[in-house]
Amino acid sequence: MLLKLRARMGYFTARKLMESRWAVRQPRLWRWMEGQFARMAGLGDTRAQSFYGHILLFRGQGYGAKREGVRFLRLAAEAGDAKAAYQMGVVSLSEDAKHGPDGNEAARWWALAAAAGHPLAASRLAQLYAGGGHGLKADEQQAEQYRAIAARLGL
């Protein structure tokens, strides 16, 4: 109980420090902040998993950090985080040394994100269904459905 409270306090402090350019540019302080993000994400907090997953994916040094970022994003997306689900769709369409682009997997993640209210996911899903590709068959009816959802969500 006390450890979780300490983790939450540290996470809250680190998130507040993210608003300061000075704090982010200090290597020692940045390492401490990353530790707070990692601790909270490791405890299963969905918002922390999404936030830290994005940091690792975009700022992580090396392949291992990026894979860990994808792992945290997957956990957050499966728990219902719309931003993480959208990013998992983007990752599914990217190509790396282990796998090629997978349109079916991207459609699955973007459908979760669109259902959670992410307008860009609905728009990208409409584009994916309209053109098909990467293992996903074109389906104009689905594309139109997701265009309507994107419009309803504000895009």
Percent pLDDT > 90 in the chain is 83
pLDDT single digits (tens) 130-141: 998 888 899 999
Q: State how far the Cα of 31 lies from the Cα of 152, in Å rounded to an integer.
A: 41
Number of structural domains found in the chain: 2
Q: Are residues 96 and 68 in the same domain?
A: no
The last residue of a domain, from among 59, 79, 99: 79
- Domain range holding 141? 81-155
**Has residue 106 got a pLDDT over 90?**
yes
pLDDT bin (cut points 50, 70, 90) of residue 97 is low
Q: State how far the Cα of 106 lies from the Cα of 58, in Å rounded to an integer.
A: 19
pTM here?
0.90
pLDDT bin (cut points 50, 70, 90) of residue 53 is very high
Q: Are residues 61 and 90 in the same domain?
A: no
pLDDT of residue 135: 87
Q: State how far the Cα of 80 lies from the Cα of 103, in Å rounded to an integer.
A: 20
**Has residue 27 got a pLDDT over 70?**
yes
Q: Are residues 75 and 98 in the same domain?
A: no
pLDDT single digits (tens) 83-92: 999 999 999 9
Half-sphere exposure of 140 (CA within 13 A, CB side): 0
